[in-house]
Amino acid sequence: MANPFKFGTIVGEEFFTDRTREAKDIKHVLASNNHLILISPRRYGKTSLALKVVKMLKRPVIYLDLQITTDAADMATQIMKRVLKISKWEKVKNAVSGFRIMPTLELNPLNGGINVTFTPSASDSFVPLEDVMNLIEHIGEKGKRPIVILDEFQEIEALGKNLPKKFRSVIQSHSHVNYVFLGSAESMMRQIFETKKSPFYHFGHLMTMGKIPHEDFLGYLETRLGRVTDKAADLSAQILAFTDCHPYYTQQLAFYCYTYLEENGYQDGLMDSVISAVLSIHNNDFEKLWNTMRSTDKKIMIALAEGWGVSSVAIPSSTAYSGLGRLAAQGYVVKNENYELDDPFFARWIVAKRNA
């Protein structure tokens, strides 16, 4: 039987866990003419959830992670490629003929797709993106309303001067498209969508997504681990005690526990053995991350890994909290009820290295 746990990529179908309430709320927003802003820390499953819901709606979907784009023209290129996946060239060629800067289109013989390239000058770098976004609105006028999902949307501020303002000025008039803005940097996303001076102020329905409730996750784990052990209840509780219900790391640890059970059966000390194996796999990665950190950040990471709290760090409080902000922006630290390390394996690695 295939391992029923999945991590590291977008999760769907039988691998998906709970999120019933959030899915229902997303459906309601996208059934209206409103837009959605969904914020959660990295690896909490917001992308998987959004794509699962839009798949159920059976509407054209354009998904783009802004982290892979370099500027406004590249963003236009990437979105246009995805437009041609939901709407055949024959249906949009008349609209494209009205573009102020014509894209170069080439057939890719390897996958049968169409490569798109815009080459605007510096003075008209936003023009292709404006034309492409208006093309999506045109598609919505002629058929089913498209859904545009822009992941890690906080990155838009790094793609060009005044790009958020220009982008908002174009899509604010669209009435045949639903926009979904996903983001993992909460402070940056709230600055974009909740600051009055921001062009995207109150642009859509804002949702935040936390960890999966303990009891829901416990039942999910017990059902699947029960296929290979009669100790599923105890093992599930141990997994959640280590991961604190973090969706990604829970799936990761459960995956390795399931593999261990298939190969060795249940044994005393199973959890320690599995965690040690995972630390061994990621040892080089953790060392590289650790060696890139400044001394202040290391002190904060140690305090959080040991469970002491930031107040125990022998540095000025202003320095500590600026460090926390920096580590949070980099994804190493998240704030739930308190500040904590995002990766429980990294936390265990820090403690293990200091106690070796």
Statement to judge: residues 249 and 341 lie in one domain:
no
* Domain stop point among 281, 308, 338: 281
Instruction: Look up residue 163 and give its DSSP letter.
Output: H
Side-chain half-sphere exposure of 122, counting CA atoms within 13 A: 1
Asked if residue 149 and residue 250 are part of one domain, the reply reads no
User: Would you state the pLDDT for residue 112?
Assistant: 67
Over residues 249-293, the pLDDT tens digits come to 999 999 999 999 999 999 999 999 999 999 999 999 999 999 999
Q: Do 163 and 62 sit in the same domain of this protein? A: yes
> Do residues 37 and 151 share a domain?
yes
Domain count across the chain: 3
| Structure tokens, 254 | 């459960």
Residue 293 lies in a domain: yes
Q: Of 25-39, 115-129, 193-207, 296-310, where does mean pLDDT reach its minimum?
A: 115-129
Q: Are residues 193 and 316 in the same domain?
A: no
Residue 3 counted as domain residue:
no
**How far, in Å, CA of 334 to CA of 342, rounded?**
6
Report DSSP state, residue 293: S
Residue 8 lies in a domain: no
Terminal CA-CA length for the chain: 38
- The whole-number pLDDT of residue 119 equals 86
* pTM recorded for the entire structure: 0.87
Outline where the chain has alpha helix (H).
20-30, 46-57, 72-86, 89-96, 127-142, 163-171, 186-194, 214-225, 232-243, 247-264, 270-281, 283-292, 295-306, 317-330, 344-355
- 147 near 59, Cβ under 8 Å? yes
Cα–Cα distance list, 171 to 152, 156, 166, 187 (Å): 18, 14, 9, 23
Domain that holds residue 345: 283-355
Separation between Cα atoms, residue 117 and residue 112, nearest integer Å: 16
Please report which confidence band the pLDDT of residue 12 belongs to, taking 50, 70 and 90 as the band edges: low
Q: What is the structure's pLDDT at 14? A: 61
| 278: nearest Cα among 245, 307, 254, 306 | 254
What are the C-alpha distances in Å from 2 to residues 236, 249, 254, 255, 257?
Answer: 19, 19, 13, 11, 13
Is 46 found in the same domain as 190? yes
Looking at 169, 187, 208, the residue that finishes a domain is 208
pLDDT bin (cut points 50, 70, 90) of residue 16 is: low
Maximal C-alpha separation, the chain: 69
Does 4 fall in a domain?
no
Distance CA 184, CA 47 (A): 10
Q: Using the 8-state DSSP alphabet, how is residue 160 labeled?
A: S
- Alpha-carbon Rg for the chain, nearest whole angstrom, is 23
Residue 142: pLDDT band (50, 70, 90) is confident
Q: What is the CATH number of the domain that holds 48?
A: 3.40.50.300
Are residues 33 and 111 located together in one domain of the fold?
A: yes
Residues 62 and 155 occupy one common structural domain: yes
**Domain-terminating residue out of 147, 182, 208:** 208
- Residue 299 and residue 161 share a domain: no
Q: How confident is the model at residue 93 (pLDDT cuts 50, 70, 90)?
A: confident
Same domain, 75 and 56: yes
Confidence of residue 19 (pLDDT cuts 50, 70, 90): confident
Residue 147 lies in a domain: yes
Domain-located, residue 121: yes
pLDDT at 105 over 90: no
Q: Is 300 inside any structural domain?
A: yes
User: Token digits for 220?
Assistant: 């999910």
Report helix, strand or coil for 343: coil
Average pLDDT, the chain: 92
Assess contact for 159 and 66: CB atoms under 8 A.
yes
| φ, ψ of residue 288 in degrees (nearest 5) | -65, -45
Calpha distance 36→25 (Å, rounded): 10
Residue 124, CA distances (Å) to 77, 133, 255 in order? 14, 15, 50
Residues 329, 232: one domain?
no
User: Which residue type, as a one-letter code, is found at position 109?
Assistant: P
Element (H, E) at 268: none
Q: Are residues 291 and 147 in the same domain?
A: no
Q: Which residue has the tokens 């909740």?
A: 194
In a domain, 9, yes or no: no
CATH number of the domain to which 296 belongs: 1.10.10.10
